[in-house]
């Protein structure tokens, strides 16, 4: 056991602080208790002392000693992910090599090669604001390379990110937005893919707390207010099921749990309903204590008992017993009509399945059968290895491809012989062709899905049987990249296009040789380099290609100086439009100064409002530096926000609206209500007459007793818009009024 003497002296020399550190360390040992073998405690103590000594002068943004962070990460690894001793040591040391004087060699000398390799993989992604996007993606790529060697790297990384999210309050607003976006864009889907549903859910909820604070607080408040009646309903729903199971001698636990705030919000947005109308605010979970050989049979028995009591919705049955998800998840989900006419989701699992659902990959190892497992995870890692080994992929493309290929939910597709291929949701017939073999993919001209002829861009659904049709004359084209989603397909198409480009470039090579000889120069590497530099091109290949397709006619060669057989470019070098990211007006000496957006024509700042989310004063916003266009202002809940903040954090500028009642901003609302005589009159009177708001355009469509109105109007700020929405809702017969949130305002 570590003693107070082992804890280094902190600058404050605070005994309370030492006691706090020791208390946290002891609570880590407590959760590890069942896993400790002789000698383990000593190794953990050495790692703890090494980390405490290395971080002794460091503090977190909250002011607390830094060592509390690695201890907390280690605790998450053990308690919430189910990892063991070696992972605990790695978690304690995960920031030492990056941030302190400890080297990888020190770690290897003390703990051996395996732990050193994991710590190396964990050397954390830098979040420095001026880091460029490709470096961020490069770091992510490195982590994934290590992941395929040892998946513990990514599990510890997820624990690190979860603790950072739990302690995000002390960070500045722009960092909160950037870290939250990155979390929801990459880390939450990664946790989901690793089977860590609780961690995925908490990450999404915490990200939402910072990205959409008002909605988050509103849903959290409503969940708290309805807790009592929910509990009462759950008990009423469970009672008859418990009786049936006892009679059938099934040993099962039944309980209800609330859905996450993030998933409730997604339902509200997707279905366009208010909180009160979201029917499945909770799910019922049934855990059966069954031996492995009887699990499936018992799960179906329970399903049968439930559907005897309550009517199921046939299209809401999800059978992951017969075909588990790629991350190992097994369960039976059904939605039934409960008391008081409410739909209720029921999840049925064995205790083993539940441990895999809660602890994901770590539990999966625990239950791994020697004989049967070139497991789904192993196949997944193999696919990632294949993609990463294609070093030519651009880093940002890689991050996007990785997300769509490896982090999406999967669908099951059958070959004509009945073999199953797993593909991400959104995959097309062409993705399937490349999944079978690259040589088939590049020659694909069409497909038969369930015996019907479809184009190669046809989107597939789970259960489809697909036969690929090929032709030796077919060649990949640029537009193929627009409708494939798997990394393998994108990589192979890019390779094929590059090959095609090389063939075309060969023509340009001969043209260039003739032109150089025509001015008395030679076709040498020096001369080619001069031209590549002059035309600002990335490579020789691009120069030859541009000459071949006649984008460059080489007329400028006459302006070059020829000495012997060498050419020299005229001065100054030909300038292409500068890709400057300087914006006049954003030159504040204070690094963290908030940028104020005025919205006046006299502004020195070049900015525009993003079309994807149409911000208005009062919205929570951030600025994004766009090449050539100055600053674009986006709402933090814009559909593109997560991608921009996660991939291009260095281009994000803190922004704030100034109070300004003189400028009006275009926004849009959608109104749904009963189609009544004079309804248009009532609406326009309220907007233009009473509230004096300018209407830019109005369309009303009536259908079967209901009307839907789309109105574009000019408001000064969010306060004015909120007041308008409330006033419209108070009109008789108006069902809902919504701002256009996630799409362009219709013209």
Would you name the residues annotated as active-site residues?
Answer: 98-99
Q: For residues 735 and 440, what is the distance between their CA atoms, to the nearest angstrom? A: 53
Burial of 418 (0-12, 13-18, 19+ CB in 10 A): exposed
Contact between 278 and 272 under an 8 Å Cβ cutoff? The reply is no
CA proximity to 399, closest of 642, 745, 695: 642
State the pairing for strand pair 252-258/282-288.
antiparallel
Q: For residues 615 and 592, what is the distance between their CA atoms, to the nearest angstrom? A: 23
What 455-459 contacts at long range (C-beta under 8 Å, 24+ apart), as own/partner pairs, is 455/429, 456/428, 456/429, 456/430, 456/480, 456/483, 457/428, 457/429, 457/430, 457/483, 458/428, 458/429, 459/426, 459/427, 459/428
| Count, residues in the chain | 747
Query: What φ, ψ does residue 318 adopt, rounded to 5°?
Result: -120, 115
Q: For residues 322 and 649, what is the distance between their CA atoms, to the nearest angstrom? A: 43
Q: For residues 619 and 442, what is the distance between their CA atoms, to the nearest angstrom? A: 47
What strands, in cross-sheet order, belong to the sheet with 621-626?
Answer: 595-597, 652-657, 621-626, 630-635, 607-609
CA-angle at 197, arms to 23 and 81, nearest 5° = 35
Enter the tokens of residue 449.
């899905």
Enter the tokens of residue 309.
């009591």
Q: For residues 446 and 36, what is the distance between their CA atoms, to the nearest angstrom? A: 58
User: Which residues face 273 on adjacent strands?
Assistant: none
């Amino acid at each position: 056991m570590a003693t107070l003497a082992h804890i280094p002296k902190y600058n404050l020399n605070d005994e309370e602080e030492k006691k706090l550190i020791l208390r946290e360390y002891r609570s880590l040992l407590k959760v590890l208790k069942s896993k400790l073998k002789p000698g383990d405690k000593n190794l953990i103590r050495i790692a703890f002392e090494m980390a405490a000594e290395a971080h002794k002068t460091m503090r977190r943004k909250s002011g607390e000693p830094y060592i509390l962070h690695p201890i907390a990460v280690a605790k998450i690894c053990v308690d919430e992910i189910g990892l063991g001793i070696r992972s605990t040591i790695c978690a304690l040391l995960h920031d030492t090599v990056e941030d302190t004087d400890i080297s990888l060699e020190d770690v290897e000398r003390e703990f051996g090669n395996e732990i050193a390799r994991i710590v190396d993989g964990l050397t954390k992604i830098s979040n420095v604001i001026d880091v460029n996007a490709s470096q961020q993606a490069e770091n992510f790529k490195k982590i994934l390379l290590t992941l395929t060697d040892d998946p513990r790297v990514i599990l510890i990384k997820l624990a690190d990110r979860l603790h950072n999210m739990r302690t995000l309050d002390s960070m500045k607003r722009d960092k909160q937005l950037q870290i939250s976006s990155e979390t929801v864009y990459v880390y939450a889907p990664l946790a989901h893919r690793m089977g860590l549903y609780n961690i995925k859910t908490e990450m999404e909820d915490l990200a939402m707390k910072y990205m959409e604070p008002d909605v988050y607080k509103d849903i959290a408040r409503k969940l708290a207010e309805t807790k009592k009646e929910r509990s009462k309903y759950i008990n009423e729903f469970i009672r008859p099921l418990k009786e049936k199971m006892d009679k059938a001698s099934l040993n099962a636990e039944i309980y209800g749990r609330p859905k996450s705030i993030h998933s409730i919000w997604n339902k509200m947005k997707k279905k366009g309903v208010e909180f009160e109308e979201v029917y499945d605010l909770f799910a019922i979970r049934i855990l059966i204590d069954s031996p492995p050989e009887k699990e499936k049979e018992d799960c179906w028995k329970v399903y049968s008992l439930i559907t005897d009591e309550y009517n199921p919705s046939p299209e809401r049955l999800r059978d992951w017993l017969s075909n588990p998800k790629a991350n190992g998840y097994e369960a039976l989900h059904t939605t039934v009509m409960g008391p008081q006419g409410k739909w209720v989701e029921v999840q049925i699992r064995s205790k083993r399945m539940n441990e895999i659902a809660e602890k994901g990959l770590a539990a999966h190892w625990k239950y791994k059968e020697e004989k049967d497992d070139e497991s789904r995870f192993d196949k997944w890692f193999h696919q990632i290895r294949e993609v990463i080994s294609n070093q030519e992929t651009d880093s940002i493309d890689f991050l996007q491809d990785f997300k769509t290929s490896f982090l999406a939910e999967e669908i099951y597709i059958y070959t004509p012989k009945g073999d199953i291929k797993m593909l991400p949701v959104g995959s097309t017939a062409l993705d399937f062709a490349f999944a079978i073999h690259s040589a088939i993919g590049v020659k694909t001209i069409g497909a038969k899905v369930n015996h019907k002829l479809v184009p190669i861009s046809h989107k597939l659904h789970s259960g489809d049987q697909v036969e690929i049709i090929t032709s030796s004359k077919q060649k990949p084209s640029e537009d193929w990249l627009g409708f494939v989603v798997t990394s393998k397909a994108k990589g192979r198409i890019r390779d094929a296009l590059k090959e095609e480009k090389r063939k075309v470039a060969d023509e340009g090579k001969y043209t260039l040789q003739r032109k150089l000889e025509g001015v008395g120069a030679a076709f040498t590497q020096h001369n080619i380099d001069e031209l590549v530099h002059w035309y600002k091109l990335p490579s020789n290949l691009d120069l030859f290609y541009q000459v071949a397709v006649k984008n460059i006619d080489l007329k400028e060669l006459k302006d070059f100086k020829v000495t012997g057989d060498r050419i020299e470019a005229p001065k100054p070098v030909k300038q292409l439009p500068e890709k400057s990211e300087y914006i006049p007006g954003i030159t504040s000496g204070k690094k963290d100064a908030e940028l104020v957006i005025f919205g006046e024509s006299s502004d020195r700042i070049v900015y525009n409002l993003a079309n994807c989310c149409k911000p208005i004063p009062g919205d929570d916003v951030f600025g994004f530096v766009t090449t050539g266009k100055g600053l674009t202002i986006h709402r933090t809940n814009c559909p593109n926000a997560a991608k921009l903040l996660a991939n291009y954090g260095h281009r994000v500028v803190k922004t704030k609206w100034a109070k300004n009642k003189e400028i009006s901003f275009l926004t849009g609302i959608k109104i749904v209500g009963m189609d009544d005589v004079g309804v248009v009159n009532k609406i326009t009177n309220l907007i233009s007459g009473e509230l004096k708001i300018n209407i830019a355009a109005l369309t009303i469509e009536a259908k079967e007793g209901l009307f839907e109105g789309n109105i574009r109007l000019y408001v000064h700020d969010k306060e004015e818009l909120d007041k308008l929405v409330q006033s419209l809702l108070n009109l008789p017969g108006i069902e809902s009024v919504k701002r256009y949130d996630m799409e362009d305002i219709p013209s």
